[in-house]
Chains A and B, each alone.
Chain A
Amino acid sequence: MAAILDAKGLNKSFGAVTAAKDINVAVEQDSVVGLIGSNGAGKTTFINMVTGYLKPTSGAIHFDGRDITALSPRQITQLGICRSFQIPQLFNTMTVHENLLVGVGIVAAAGKRWSSDNHTYADPSKAVDAMLDEFNLGAYRDRTAGLLPEGTRKLLDIAMAMVVRPRILLLDEPTSGVSADEKFVLMDMVMAAVKQHKVTVLFVEHDMDVVERYTHRVLAFYEGRIIADGEPTDVLNDVEVRRYVIGGHIAPAGAASHA
C-alpha cells in the first residue's frame, strides 16, 4: 500500500542541539502508529515538523505525494493533517459548544475549497451536536472550556482536531494528565471516531499499555533518531528500546495480556 505520509532524511537542529537526526518514516493509510521515547527524544519535534510548526533543517515531508515541507500549519491543516496538543489548545473563555462551532464554522466557510476530502458542513449547529455526541461531551456543552477537567480538555482538543475531518491525525500525549480510569475510555472513544472516519493516526505516548493496546506499529525515538520501527510487541521487547526508552524493570510487552 502506498504511504500517505512519507518523511525522508529529516534533520532538525536548534543551534548546537540536534533534535532530529535522519528521520525516515513512511506511514500507510488507516494505520495507527505510536511514537515512544523519553523526554527530548524527538517525538514532538517530529510532529511539529509534519504539522508545519517547525521547518526541518534538511529533508522532505510528502503527504499523499505532495511536498508539504515548506507549508504553514494552516496550509497543512487545510490539506487534511490535523493535530492535538500536549497542553490542550482551546478557546478557554468560550463554551465547549462554541469551541466546536468555531471549528465547524471555519470548515463551513471554506466550503469545498480545501482539498482534504471536499467535506463541508451544511448545518453547523447540527454538526456540533453530532460532535458533542460522538465525543460524549454533551454534558459539558455549555461549560467554559477553561474550567473543564483535564481529561475533558484533552478530549475537546482532539474533537476540535477532528472537526476538520483530517486524513491524518497527530496526537501529542493524548492521555497525559488523564487519570488511569479515564485514559482507556478516552482512547476508546477517539479510536472509534478515527475508525469511523478512516483517519490515519500517529500518537506520542508514554504509557506502554496504551501503546500496546491501540497501535499497529511503533516508532521508538532516542536522541533524535528512530532506534526501532515495527510491530508493537517487537519494538517494546527490543533490547535497545528497553534500555533507552522503557527501562529494564518493566515487564516485557505482551506478558500481561498472555498471563
Chain B
Amino acid sequence: MRIDRNSIAVVLVGVVLLALGPVLPSWAVSLLNVALCYGTVVLGMMLLMRTGIVSFGHGLYYCLGAYAAGLLDHFGKMPDMLLMVGAGAVTAGLVAAVLGLLLAKYRDIFFAMLSLAFSMILYGLLVKTASLGSTDGFNVAAKTVGGIVIAEDSVRIVVYSLAVVFATLSAFLLHQYLASHQGRLAGAIKDNELRVEYMGASVKAAVHRNYVISAVLAGIGGALMAVNIGHIDPEMTYWPQSGEFVFVAILSGTGSVFAPLGGALVFEAIRSFAYEYSPNTWQMVLGITMLLVMIFLPGGLWSLFTRKRGA
C-alpha cells in the first residue's frame, strides 16, 4: 500500500465530513448523503472510463445493491446497515463477475448498449414481480449497525456517517488501485489494447476485473441509498438513472478519486436548487450545465484544479 498525499487527503476529507455531520443543517446532511451515495457509484464509472469504456447500465448494480440491502430487511429480517451494504456489494460483484465475462469482449457503443440492455432486463423483471412491490417497490428500514440498535432520532446522522465511511474507504482503496500496476493498466488499455496484449497481459481479464470493481462500488452506493432514503423501486435500474451516472461522471472528470465525489455534490446541489427555484424546468438547468462543462471544461470539473496546477 502506498500512502501518498492524495491518500492522506482522502482520509482527512472523510474525517472532516464525519466531524461536520452533527453541526450541519439537516438539508445539508441530506444533500451530502445523496451525493456520497452517487459519488461512490461514479467512482466505479470513473474506473471504467479510465479503461476506455462507458457503461450505460450501471443502474443495474446500483439497483441490485439496493434490493440486496432491502431484501435483508424485507425477507431476512436482518435490518443491519453494515450487513445491508455488504450484501449490496457482494450481490453486485457476483452478478458483474458473470455478466462481465460477456461484456469484457465488447467495446464502445456495443458495450454501452449491452450494459443498458442488462439493466433494462432487471427493470422488466422487477416491475413484474409482485412480491417485490412491482413498480411501487418497498420500504427499507435499517435499525442496527453491527448489531447495535440505533435510537430513532440518531438514524439520520448514523446513516450519514456510514455513507461518509464507505465513500471514504471506497475512494481510498480505488486510489490505491489506480496507483498500482493493475490501475496503470487501465490507462494503457484505453490507449492501446494491441500493445498491452503484445506485452503479455490479458486485456479481457483487466477489463473484467475493472468492471467487477465498478459494479461493487455501484452496489455499495445503491445499498447506502436504500438505507438513506428508506425506499427502493425499479426506477433505480431504469435507463435515466444509468444516464445520470454517466452525466455525473462526465461532469466530474476522471483525473482523481476526488472528482466523482465532488462532481456528485455539485450535481446534487444544482439539481436540488434548480428543483426548488424552477420546478418545471430543472432538467433544462442540468442540461445547460452539462453543455457549459463540455464546451469549457471537456476534462470535467476536476480539470479546473489540474489547469491551475499546470499554469
Contact = CB atoms under 8 A, between A and B. Distances in A.
B195 interface: yes
Contacts of B185: 102, 105-106
Contact of A106 (B187, B190, B192, B199): B199
A101 B181 CA distance: 8
A163 B199 contact: yes
A244 interface: no
Interface string A56-83: 0000000000000000111001100011
A117 B160 CA distance: 54
Contact of A110 (B190, B192, B200): B200
Interface string A35-61: 000000000000000010000000000
B200 A93 contact: no
A72 B203 CA distance: 12
Contacts of A106: 181, 185, 196, 199-201
A93 B187 contact: yes
B198 A89 contact: yes
Interface residues of B, number: 18
Main secondary structure of the interface of B (DSSP, over half): helix
A98 interface: yes
A196 B184 CA distance: 29
A108 B181 contact: yes
A93 B200 CA distance: 20
A112 to B, nearest CB: 13
A155 interface: no
Interface in B169-203: 181-182, 184-185, 187-188, 190-192, 194-202
Interface string A77-113: 1100011000001111110001001110111111000
A160 B200 contact: no
Contacts, number: 71
A124 interface: yes
Given A89-B194, A92-B191, A94-B187, A102 B199 contact: yes
A51 B197 CA distance: 11
Contacts of B187: 91, 93-94, 98
A114 interface: yes
Given A106-B181, A109-B182, A160-B195, A91 B188 contact: yes
Given A101-B184, A105-B181, A106-B185, A160 B192 contact: no
Nearest to B205: A74
B200 A164 contact: yes
A77 B197 CA distance: 8
Contacts of B192: 89-92
A164 B201 CA distance: 11
A98 B197 contact: no
Nearest to A98: B184
A98 B185 CA distance: 10
A56 B177 CA distance: 40
The list of the 5 closest CB pairs from A to B, nearest first, reads A105-B181, A91-B191, A77-B200, A89-B195, A106-B201
17 contacts: A74-B202, A77-B197, A77-B199, A90-B191, A90-B192, A90-B195, A91-B191, A101-B184, A102-B196, A102-B199, A106-B199, A107-B200, A108-B181, A110-B200, A114-B200, A164-B199, A164-B200
